[in-house]
Amino acid sequence: MCGIVAFYSRRDPVSPASLERATNSLYHRGPDGQRQWISADRKVGLGHARLSIIDLSTGDQPIASEDERTRIIVNGEFYGYEAIQRELEQRGHRLRTRSDSEIALHLYEELGTHCLQQLRGEFALVLWDETNRRLFAARDRFGIKPLFYAWHQDTLYIASEVKALFAAGVPARWDEESVYNSIAFGGHVMRTLYDGVHQIPPGHYMIATEKHVQINRYWDFDYPHASLTAPKRSDADYAAEFRHELEEAVRIRLRADVPVGVYLSGGLDSCAVLGLAARHHPDPIKAFTLTFENVDYDEGPIAREMAALAGAEFHTIPIGQRHLADSFSDAILQSETLCVNAHGVAKFLLSKAVRDAGYKVVITGEGSDEILGGYAHFRRDMLLYNREGQNPDEIAELLKWLDEHNTVSRGLLLPDGDIGDLDNVRRVLGYVPSWIETFSSRAVKTLPLLADGFRDKYAPTGNYGGLLADMDVRGQLAGRDPLNQSLYLWSKTVMANYILTMLGDRMEMAHSIEGRVPFLDHRLVELICSQPVSMKVRGMTEKYVLREAVRDVITDTVYRRQKHPFLSPPATLSPDDTFNTFVQDTLRGPAMAAIPYFDQRQIVALLDRLHTLDTGAKTAYDQILMPLVSMCVLQQRFNLAA
């Protein structure tokens, strides 16, 4: 796992100093060495910050082909690479390293861009093809690894993080439409908060030449049409095939030349990963668990029970409100985005503790909720839109139960209060996914805090049309089951832009930790896409097939427990504590005043009346305040222009 930088100039020579600055800005992603290469004509530059995981001695990058006309830089891991190495050597390739990264270089020599179909893992890569004078950049199928780009003064800049683009000389400015989109629905597939800065979407690649740039899709979820009748099979059969693929995905992610640990919560996902990993690891695995003082958010006891069952070495990292306050700014700087809860800050601190314990690699449970319908809003979708053969009164009771038993998710995963105008979504999809209703209800609460001109410019459109315009509605959504449509839209936006950023790569790599995500192994995902939706959500039981597939390696407590989202205790619930003071001071201060998109007087009025609200309302409003504080941090740390 590393940091990568690439420059491709159509006019002036690339600057070695700028390339070095950009590479060095990613030191946290690759503290084991930074290297740069510039082409003979000085039109192309590649930079690499290395975190040594595989092939500790000869895996430095950029890696050149035998004739040195092709060079590659990679961030990530390719699994099953040893077999591909042997096949490449049998076909006459001479490998310079034993690194997994090099296989992509030689596969490209043979297959061109179709090499991506042969790669299994989480990755971002950039390759310079001197023979064809083209730059090839690609991102893994789900967006586990980030890859941003910007054009500035006739030069294409590509990097693992936005801060590297800024270090290279790309102007640091807000993109006001993207700011609104982030508030409304979590952001677009390609755009970012920053003017002129885009991201290569998950499952896509870029080809850049002196005359043209194009971005193409090479993979997608391809959910089956709802009208297709699959052969009748038993639940046990579905669970057995899911178990086989998941166990293999976990097993191959234990391969490393350094120790591998596991992030463990009280949730089904990480417990399943630990339970399966313990079966394939010769020694007790070290399991790292966050704990909180607020019992409603603390999963320590459940995680401890699971660690004992797996024979793991259990290690807790206690997090208090003071820790969240002290690390909030640094965590947001690494994320480069807006948070809705300080859970990302907690993950930032978790990764630091793991690094301090001498680990570089952890296996995590991210992605399970996105492929298996784990969140409460997916269960709501099943109740609302898969009604065939169901009693309306029973559905009403279950919806009531869902709301009453997910109080910590109020406004975050389930709608809370008024919902905006979503007719355009209904016209396109035929229904409105519950997660979009949830985001809309949050946006309604935020509207009074927006500056008049900003609100008047964007709020009337709602901009959900812009969200759907980014999607292949006809090819990937039309005719699919509503739950699968909802999963697809969530995965393309919130999973890629938020979950895998704020709770994944950016918080891990902030402390040079490589996170491996077996639930987002594409073979496993393709399998669950083909299974009936009833294997994902059944009644009030989410992730049904996973529960049944791993029942023998998890505790009964975990097996019977419903999904609880990983959240840190909201600042608003502890008015006298350090974190709430930090939030109050930030939003009342000069950084907030410098951002032209909000009315600070309205924000201060909200802060003044927070103490009068009940616990549920305070929880819901914490999700409104966190993005605002995040913007203040980004404004200060990047000195962003409007």
CATH class in words for 2-172+190-217: alpha beta
Residues 6+ apart with CB under 8 A from 101: 54, 59, 61, 63, 72, 74, 78, 125
Can you tell me the mean pLDDT for 24-42? 95
The amino acid present at 348, given as its one-letter code, is: F
User: What's the mean per-residue pLDDT of the chain?
Assistant: 93
- Give the residue extent of every domain in the chain: 2-172+190-217, 222-447+454-566, 571-638
Q: Report residue 577: phi and psi, to 5°.
A: -95, 170
pLDDT of residue 311: 97
* Residue 291 CB neighbour total at 10 angstroms: 17
Per the omega criterion (within 30 degrees of 0), is the bond before 62 cis? Answer: yes
Percent of the chain surpassing pLDDT 70: 97
Cα 184 from chain centre: 18
Higher pLDDT pick, 127 / 614: 127
pLDDT above 60 (res 580): yes
- Bridge-partner residues for 34, per DSSP? 49
| Range 559-564 contact pairs with CB under 8 angstroms and sequence separation of 24 or more | 559/268, 561/266, 561/267, 561/268, 561/302, 562/405, 563/267, 563/268, 563/369, 563/374, 563/375, 563/376, 564/266, 564/267, 564/299, 564/408
271 is catalytic: no
| Confidence band, pLDDT 50/70/90 cuts, at residue 199 | very high
DSSP state of 299: -
Contact between 151 and 11 under an 8 Å Cβ cutoff? The reply is: no
pLDDT in tens, 242-286: 999 999 999 999 998 889 999 999 999 999 999 999 999 989 999
Provide the 10 A C-beta neighbour count for residue 639: 10
| Stretch (H or E) spanning 515 | strand 514-516
Cβ–Cβ contacts within 10 Å for residue 401, how many? Answer: 12
pLDDT of residue 414: 82
Whether the per-residue pLDDT at 461 is higher than 80: the answer is: no
Q: Is the pLDDT of residue 157 over 90?
A: yes
Distance (Å, rounded) from C-alpha 355 to C-alpha 50? Answer: 16
3-state SS, residue 258: coil
Rg, C-alpha atoms of the chain: 24
Is 353 within 8 Å of 335 (Cβ atoms)? no
State the pLDDT at residue 565: 84
pTM for the full model?
0.95
The answer on pLDDT for 503 being more than 80 is yes
User: Is pLDDT at 389 greater than 60 in this prediction?
Assistant: no
Q: Which of 2, 115, 339, 632 is an active site residue?
A: 2
Which whole number is the average pLDDT over 549-575?
93
pLDDT tens sequence across 519-544: 999 999 999 999 999 999 988 899 99
Categorize the per-residue pLDDT at 1 as very low, low, confident or very high, splitting at 50, 70 and 90: low
Contact between 619 and 410 under an 8 Å Cβ cutoff? The reply is: yes
User: Does residue 325 register a pLDDT over 90?
Assistant: yes
pLDDT at 58: 74
Of the candidates 469, 535, 520, the one whose C-alpha atom is nearest the C-alpha of residue 221 is 520
Question: Of 53, 110, 44, nearest to 363 (Cα)?
Answer: 53
Contact at 8 Å (CB) between 48 and 4?
Answer: yes
What superfamily does domain 222-447+454-566 belong to in CATH? HUPs (3.40.50.620)
